[in-house]
Amino acid sequence: MKKLRKLFIPLLALTLSACTAPSGLSSAKADAVREYPTLALPGGSVSISTARAYGQGEGLMISGRLKRLHELPMPGHMDLVICTPDGTRLAQEQIRVAGLSSKRRGLLELPFRTHLPLTPPAGAVIHLRYHAPTSPDGELDCPHS
């Protein structure tokens, strides 16, 4: 029993000290990440389940997940528009998502990620929409105030 106690107490202390150790990421760096609001617009048979936009280095990182409900005969792309609060378009991009043309049937969730070399001003909103090749929807644009 004494041998077990001699082994258990140092092991417990080591485990507890590892739980309280800093993670290596300072709180100043964690606070420096600037989040931007994203607005996912409906886009047919593929939906945007999650989207996040945040400042990274000297640019903007946009990432998230698409949800495809069934096999697509022709995969489309994602439209991305960055708008200022007054409705001015800062940037417009098309994002190709790998795996949309998969022959796998049923529900499929796919990640997407893109980096833009710009830093939007405070209050900017990122609009995202899946655009099917046969969609009658036109070009995604900023709503004007």
Among 130, 122, 134, 139, CA closest to 35: 122
Q: 90: which residues sit within 8 A by CB, 6+ positions away?
A: 82, 83, 84, 118, 120, 124
Q: What is the pLDDT of residues 8-66, one digit of tens each?
A: 555 545 554 544 544 443 334 444 577 888 888 876 778 889 999 998 888 899 999 99
pTM: 0.69
CATH class of 34-131: mainly beta
> Please, is 127 exposed, middle or buried when counting C-beta atoms within 10 Å of its C-beta (0-12, 13-18, 19+)?
buried
What percent of the chain is predicted at pLDDT more than 70? 75
Domain boundaries, given as residue ranges, for the chain: 34-131
Q: How far, in whole angstroms, is CA 78 from its chain's centroid?
A: 13
Sequence letter at residue 18: A
